Amino acid sequence: MGIISELKIGIKLEIAQTSDESYYNKQIITSQLIDKNEEFLFISQPMFKGMSYHLYVTDKIKIIFNDKDKGTFHIIAEVISKKTNKITIYGVKPIGEPVAVQRREYFRIDMLKNVVIRETDVTREIDCFSKNISGGGVKLICRKKIDVGSTINIKLHFKEGVMITTQGKIKKAIKLEEDNRYELSIEFVNLREGTRNRIISFIFEHQRLLRKRGLI
């Protein structure tokens, strides 16, 4: 199964029921790859908001994982066993081949970060902050309205010493009632896949930090 055989023991996994079509807009159920063989994957007890999330034999689940070089994928799998000793381990059998996650499916997470934008035909930069971010785009709060359809340059400051630059297209621009700021919905354009994977990795890292602090 190609990329499945390359999965490293210990990799973080995201789990969803196959019936949950709106999964990427919801909180994520997490697990970890404990072991594998040619036919099965063995995963740890899935967790949701710090609580055990139980699976049942014959359940069909969607397993999402990120490969830093190749991108984000999901694969459908069937739960075939459950063993509990000191820890609970589920055996799951992948069904079919991994599918690359399409842009519209990227998980979006609330993330407050400094962002600098600039319209392509002007030199003045505008300081904004992010409301949420995904691998496909970002929602910003800014004091200046930019017309829908405009292309902008973006500098995303993820953490100290780490900045990602890319371009985006304004999809929505909504004036906030409480002040003179605007909410801008931006789709990334001309984004290299390696850069997109870095953004997704930062999102997963941020999510794990929030979960560790008990905030999600």
Q: What is the pLDDT of residue 108?
A: 79
* Final residue before a domain boundary, out of 48, 81, 101: 101
**Exposure of 102 by Cβ count < 10 A (0-12 exposed, 13-18 middle, 19+ buried)?**
exposed
102 vs 120: which has the higher pLDDT: 120
What sign has the CA pseudo-torsion 204, 209, 214, 216? negative
pTM above 0.85, yes or no: no
191 has pLDDT over 80: yes
* Final residue before a domain boundary, out of 84, 101, 118: 101
The token pair at 53 is 């999330």
- Per the structure, the count of domains in the chain is 2
Q: What is the pLDDT of residue 24?
A: 42
Confidence at 215, pLDDT banded by 50, 70, 90: low
Q: What is the pLDDT of residue 1?
A: 54
Q: What is the pLDDT of residue 210?
A: 78
Range of the domain at 64: 2-101
* Final residue before a domain boundary, out of 76, 101, 126: 101
Residues 91 and 129 in one domain: no
153 has pLDDT over 50: yes
Residues 93 and 116 in one domain: no
CA distance 102 to 215: 28
